[in-house]
């Protein structure tokens, strides 16, 4: 059972998220929060597996709350809830340790999939958010040359890298390549080891810079 904490300052949004998630057989709502400070306290009390975190909240914003929650419980997974016009918060939230990003008008299926992917150790991203976040990272940082960073990758690892950079999860990549999910996980781990990337966004940046998309 996935223990879920919902943090959003809008009561109607929280109610909608609760209604959606509590009907899932594998999700248990263990707490709610209306601001970032309350989210930090609730996380310390409830020890959720996943936190759905609105980035724009009063008292303490979602970015600071994410940082505090993960400092206290590094095993928690924070999925940031964002909007299409909230680019300024994407990179800071990633730097604070957010494990994924989901736009607020995502479909119910996509939201539940993101919760499950986060609980399973993945980093779920709405494809549009991932593209914007990659653009932000590319604009802020200079990493190794793509040809150097991708040297030594197998053709199958390059396939996985390109699909990962589109925002696909492990299960979707497995279906696209007609392999098992465990095989995809092995390839993703190898990609991180070989490239030095510590998360899927960094891998997406490499794919973007190398022209794999």
Give tens-digit pLDDT for 3-32.
999 999 999 999 999 999 988 999 999 999
Q: According to the model, what pLDDT value does residue 139 have?
A: 59
Q: Give residue limits of the domains in the chain.
A: 2-127, 142-209
pTM: 0.83
Q: According to the model, what pLDDT value does residue 150 have?
A: 80
DSSP 8-state symbol, 88:
G
Do the Cβ atoms of 59 and 35 come closer than 8 Å?
yes
End-to-end CA distance of the chain: 36
Sign of CA dihedral 142, 184, 181, 47: negative
Q: According to the model, what pLDDT value does residue 146 have?
A: 56
In this structure, what token pair is assigned to residue 80? 């940031």
Nearest Cα residue to 69 out of 50, 83, 88, 84: 50
Q: According to the model, what pLDDT value does residue 133 have?
A: 80
Backbone dihedral angles phi then psi of residue 31, each to the nearest 5 degrees = 180, 160
Q: According to the model, what pLDDT value does residue 47 have?
A: 97
The strand pairing partners of 103, in sequence order, are 82
Q: According to the model, what pLDDT value does residue 166 have?
A: 87
> CATH number for the 2-127 domain, one of 3.40.50.300, 3.40.50.2300, 2.10.10.90, 1.10.10.1800?
3.40.50.2300
Q: Which fold has domain 142-209?
A: Arc Repressor Mutant, subunit A (1.10.10)
Q: According to the model, what pLDDT value does residue 115 have?
A: 95
CA distance 88 to 106: 20
Residue ranges in the chain whose pLDDT is less than 50:
none
Same fold flag, 2-127 and 142-209? no
Q: According to the model, what pLDDT value does residue 180 have?
A: 95
Do the Cβ atoms of 51 and 7 come closer than 8 Å?
yes
Give tens-digit pLDDT for 50-64.
999 999 999 999 999
């Amino acid at each position: 059972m996935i223990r879920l904490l919902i943090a959003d300052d809008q009561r109607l949004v929280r109610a909608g998220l609760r209604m959606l998630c509590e009907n899932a057989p594998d999700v248990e709502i263990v707490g709610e929060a209306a601001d970032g400070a309350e989210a930090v306290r609730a996380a310390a009390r409830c020890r959720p597996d996943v936190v759905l975190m609105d980035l724009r909240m009063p008292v303490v914003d979602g970015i600071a709350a994410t940082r505090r929650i993960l400092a206290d419980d590094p095993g928690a997974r924070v999925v940031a809830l964002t909007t299409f016009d909230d680019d300024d918060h994407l990179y800071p939230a990633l730097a604070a340790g957010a494990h994924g990003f989901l736009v607020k008008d995502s479909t119910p299926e996509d939201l539940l999939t993101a919760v499950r992917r986060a609980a399973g150790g993945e980093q779920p991203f709405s494809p549009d958010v991932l593209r914007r976040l990659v653009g932000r990272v590319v604009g802020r940082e200079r990493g190794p040359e793509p040809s150097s960073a991708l040297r030594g990758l197998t053709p199958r690892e390059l396939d996985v890298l390109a699909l990962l950079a589109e925002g696909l999860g492990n299960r979707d990549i497995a279906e696209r390549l007609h392999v098992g999910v465990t095989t995809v996980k092995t390839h993703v781990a190898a990609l991180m080891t070989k490239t030095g990337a510590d998360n899927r966004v960094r891998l997406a940046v490499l794919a973007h810079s190398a022209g794999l998309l």
